[in-house]
Structure 1
Amino acid sequence: MFGNIFDFLSSGENIAFFICALLAIGGAIFMLSFTKVVHMVLALALTFISLAGLYVVLDAEFVAVVQILIYAGAVSILMIFGIMMTKHQGEEEEPKRPWHNGLLFVGAAGLFGLIFYAIQKSDLPSGTMQPAQDNTLEIGKLIFNAHVIPFELMSVLLTVAFIGAIIVAKREED
């Protein structure tokens, strides 16, 4: 059983995958566990950046850059902007029962054990994957040849939404 783990961790690519996966899962758990919204946004940003690291390990560099730009950057800033624009009262959450964190840990460890057991017992086909030579070039060809109309419609929609947000913010200011 542990021989398979050591074989898995024998290459740097697998170690990077393992670290990014742990950070993504940890960030998601922290996002759900924190009580302050700013801390939740930071944990969510950690999850998004870890997912970008997973995309790099999987040779999807373009998707990793888009993940960082759109989700880790824009969505996190948008959430912080929304927090700043709304009024929050200093309401404190009632303290959790002392056994709550213990049950959470037992549940998470049980789920991890179940998934680990299922992966160890599964018979996965082995083979080599031939990645595309230039992922970004292929994505660009698809966007600007086969999907140019939806791409342009999306850019118009985002521009209209941006202008609408500015108008709404100006009305509230006055």
Structure 2
Amino acid sequence: MTLHDDAVLVLKAYEGSGDQAELRQVYLDHLSAHPDGMWKACGAGHLTASALVVDPSRGRVLLTLHKKLGMWLQMGGHCEPGDQTVAAAALREATEESGIPGLALTAGGPVRLDRHPIPAPCHWHLDVQYLAVAPPDAVEAISDESLDLRWFGYDEVAAVADASVVRLAEAARAAF
């Protein structure tokens, strides 16, 4: 099975409602129209995979201050040829960017979808968002893609991050 095939299966199984259901269909239509829709080279946009690192026992999430964007975001990025699944891509990105070994994605697949514009030559990131639980003794380490890493309580996220990250943190809080 290809990564593209896995993404289609993941999206078909995704049970988001309201705008999430509409967005799910946008993603599926995009993949149907663009066989290269998993890759950064797809000029019409491409799927990305991300994961919000969560410490549920302390009611907090780990955000990265993205080096290029200067924004507090969840860990995530582009799929790579070695990724077998979208979930594996999200876990790889979360592990690389947080520096935390032993992260585990929550069961049940992605918790949100988020489509956002990006500068040309590409036009859209179609982000598939997961939750990754940090082990109890987790110690983060800043990667080359980040200016900073910081834990925020669920209630603190709205003061530092955009609406997409706030919605993702709300989904994390609801999950735990």
TM-score range, shorter chain: under 0.3
TM (normalized to structure 2)?
0.21
**Higher share of residues assigned helix:** 1
Higher relative contact order, chain-length normalized (CA < 8 Å, sep 6+): 2
TM (normalized to structure 1)?
0.21
| Larger CA Rg, structure 1 vs 2 | 1
**Higher share of residues assigned strand:** 2
